[in-house]
Structure 1
Amino acid sequence: MKRQRADEMEQFKNNKSAKNTYLFFTIALLAWSLINVFTKGEPGWEFVILLIGNIIFFCSRVFYKRKLQ
């Protein structure tokens, strides 16, 4: 089965969906971390996952921005 390239509208929909998913996971992990900080006094692994995910996101944005210039 051969995959077709996504047209502009499909790419737009995928980008919007990815943005919404990223925001959801970021907010959920941040809320979970804050709850742990207030209840247990430490942020836990979810904060580490949040930081690593954001580092990967922003580093890849810088990489692709420089690559396209």
Structure 2
Amino acid sequence: MIKSFKDKETAKIFKRIKSLKLPTDIQRIALRKLVMLHAAVFINDLRVPPSNHLEQLKGNKKGTYSIRIND
């Protein structure tokens, strides 16, 4: 479940408010991914679809995961 946003533009997209700073096609994909993130119960829920490219980050980002939105 998404609890907060670090970036105001991401929060706008999640609230379905159009961002003037990001291309429309990226916003559409980002919203789909944000809905997936919000619905995920377990981290492994994000392995589907494989295009998410779920990966655990390393170094000072250890314990953090990433998915891709523009592949």
**Fold shared by both chains (TM-score > 0.5):** no
By relative contact order (CA 8 Å, sep 6+), the higher-ranking structure is 2
Question: When you count strand as a share of all residues, which structure comes out higher?
Answer: 2
Highest Rg: 1 or 2?
Answer: 1
Question: When you count helix as a share of all residues, which structure comes out higher?
Answer: 1
TM-score by length of structure 1 reads: 0.28
